[in-house]
Structure 1
Amino acid sequence: MKRLLIFYFGIFLSSMYSCKSTKIAENRSMEEKVFWINSTKLPCQGVGPMTCLQIQEGAEIEDGKWLNFFSNIEGFDYKPGNIYRIKVNVTQIPPPIPADASSLKYSFVEVISQKPDLTLRITDIWRLESIGEMKNPTGMDKPLIFEFNAAERGIFGFSGCNTVRGPITKLTETEIEFGNLMSTMMACPQAEMILERGVTQALKEIKKYKIENNRLNLATRDGTPLMILLKVD
């Protein structure tokens, strides 16, 4: 009887040790991380064309530092238009792992913060209503129309003679800056060329913006008005 008790006690200890070892192994293969999640998904290329969450790690968001996230975060109820800070568990998946799959599993833990992305308000089509003292300017008998895309950080439009496009290099809730703008090279009458030079120069000097009454007000760093654009319905 005594030997039988010792035998069963040995099995019990072995089971306890096995469970403990399993938990230790699981803990060693799991890591907790904190991600910032951007307000929009962007096209990306994985195994095929897809859309990716945009993430950052770190204490603060750095403008222009978003990275494509090709995996899924299990349990995360993502709603576009919001910037999230979330906590996730990252688990190493044991082999065999398919060639086109990640070796890591991401599981949602909690939302640390969530707020609407106000920079998305600039994403729209706008007509130039004034530049300096000039009201409702036209080029080649056409209004000057610009399209802003906050998610893709770009601008495209008609500047009076040619079409221009380029990057938005800085965008916060109050600040905006443009990078080098590319333009078509069509020759136009002198009046249109003068207007276009004024528009492209103003775009270089713009540092701040404000949206009110369906108007996009663009100004220098010290607040000097440069351009006013009206939202196109």
Structure 2
Amino acid sequence: MKRLLIFSFGIFLITIYSCKSTKLSENQNTEEKVFWINSTKLPCQGVGPMTCLQIQESPEIEDGKWNNFYSNIEGFEYKPGNIYRIKVRVEQLPPPIPADASSLRYTLIEVISEKPDLTLSITGIWKVESLGEIQNPKGMGKALTIELNAAERGVLGFSGCNTIRGFISKLTETEIEFGNLLSTMMACSQTEMILERGVTQALEKVKKYKIENNRLYLNTSDGTRLMILRKAD
């Protein structure tokens, strides 16, 4: 009888240890993460061309530091135009895993926050209404225009004679800065060259912006008005 009790107790300990080991193994294959999800998807290259969510894992959003996310998040209903903060469960899948599939499964636990991305309001084609003291400036008989793309951080415009192209290096709900702008090299009159120089110099100084009544106001950091643009599309 004594031997039977010892044997039974041994089996019990083995069973408990086995359960603990299984639970520990499962925990090792699963973790929780918190993501920021950006308001737009961007083209990316997986197995083929696709569009990717843009994510960050930092405590606060860091401007311009979004990364492509190539997987799906089960249970997450994404609506373009909103910025999300979500908690997800990340599970390491057991082999075999298809060559074109992820080894991780992402499942939504909680939507922590969801809010509209106000920076998207700058996206569109804008006609220059004023450049410093110059009202409705024109070059080669055409209005000056600047096209902005908040999602792709792109800038494209007609500055009076040439086309300018570049990127937005900083963008928040009140701040905007432009990186180096490239220009085509078409010969222009002296008047048009002066106008173009005024456009590029103004864009280099822009630090702040606001949108009111379908107009985009570009200002210096101390609030000095540089340009006023009106939505053209």
TM band (smaller chain) = over 0.9
Q: Which moved more, 1:61-70 or 1:16-25?
A: 16-25
Alignment gaps of 5+ in structure 1: none
Match of 2:225 in 1: 225
Secondary structure at the aligned position of 1:22 is classed as helix
TM-score between both structures, scaled by the size of structure 2: 0.93
Which residue type is aligned with residue 149 of structure 1? N
Match of 1:212 in 2: 212
For residues 22 and 80 of structure 1, the distance between their equivalents in structure 2, rounded to whole angstroms, comes to 40
For residues 13 and 223 of structure 2, the distance between their equivalents in structure 1, rounded to whole angstroms, comes to 74
Q: Given the alignment of the two structures, is residue 179 of structure 1 paired with residue 182 of structure 2, yes or no? A: no
Which residue type is aligned with residue 146 of structure 1? I
For residues 215 and 36 of structure 2, the distance between their equivalents in structure 1, rounded to whole angstroms, comes to 30
CA shift, 1:8, in A, is 9.9
For residues 29 and 127 of structure 2, the distance between their equivalents in structure 1, rounded to whole angstroms, comes to 55
Match of 2:22 in 1: 22
CA shift, 1:21, in A, is 3.7
Secondary structure at the aligned position of 2:65 is classed as coil
Match of 1:137 in 2: 137
Alignment gaps of 5+ in structure 2: none
Deviation readout 1:201-230 (Å, 9 max, x if unpaired): 101011100000000000111000000000
Match of 2:88 in 1: 88
Q: Given the alignment of the two structures, is residue 97 of structure 1 paired with residue 97 of structure 2, yes or no? A: yes
Q: Given the alignment of the two structures, is residue 39 of structure 1 paired with residue 39 of structure 2, yes or no? A: yes
For residues 19 and 152 of structure 1, the distance between their equivalents in structure 2, rounded to whole angstroms, comes to 50
Q: Which moved more, 1:8-17 or 1:156-165?
A: 8-17
Q: Superposed, which structure 2 residues align to 1:126-205 within 5 Å?
A: 126-205=126-205
For residues 199 and 207 of structure 1, the distance between their equivalents in structure 2, rounded to whole angstroms, comes to 15
Which residue type is aligned with residue 50 of structure 1? M
Match of 2:118 in 1: 118
For residues 15 and 222 of structure 2, the distance between their equivalents in structure 1, rounded to whole angstroms, comes to 72
Which residue type is aligned with residue 159 of structure 2? S
TM-score between both structures, scaled by the size of structure 1: 0.93
Secondary structure at the aligned position of 2:217 is classed as strand
For residues 87 and 214 of structure 2, the distance between their equivalents in structure 1, rounded to whole angstroms, comes to 37
Q: CA RMSD in A?
A: 2.2
| Paired-residue identity, % | 77
Q: Where does structure 1 differ by over 4 angstroms across 4 or more consecutive aligned residues?
A: 6-20
Deviation readout 1:134-163 (Å, 9 max, x if unpaired): 111110001111110000001101000100
For residues 16 and 74 of structure 1, the distance between their equivalents in structure 2, rounded to whole angstroms, comes to 33
Secondary structure at the aligned position of 1:24 is classed as helix
Match of 2:107 in 1: 107
For residues 227 and 49 of structure 1, the distance between their equivalents in structure 2, rounded to whole angstroms, comes to 38
Which residue type is aligned with residue 164 of structure 1? I
Q: Which moved more, 1:160-169 or 1:98-107?
A: 98-107
Question: What is the aligned residue count?
Answer: 233
For residues 61 and 72 of structure 1, the distance between their equivalents in structure 2, rounded to whole angstroms, comes to 21
Deviation readout 1:7-44 (Å, 9 max, x if unpaired): 99998887766554433321111000000110100000
Match of 1:67 in 2: 67
For residues 17 and 81 of structure 2, the distance between their equivalents in structure 1, rounded to whole angstroms, comes to 49
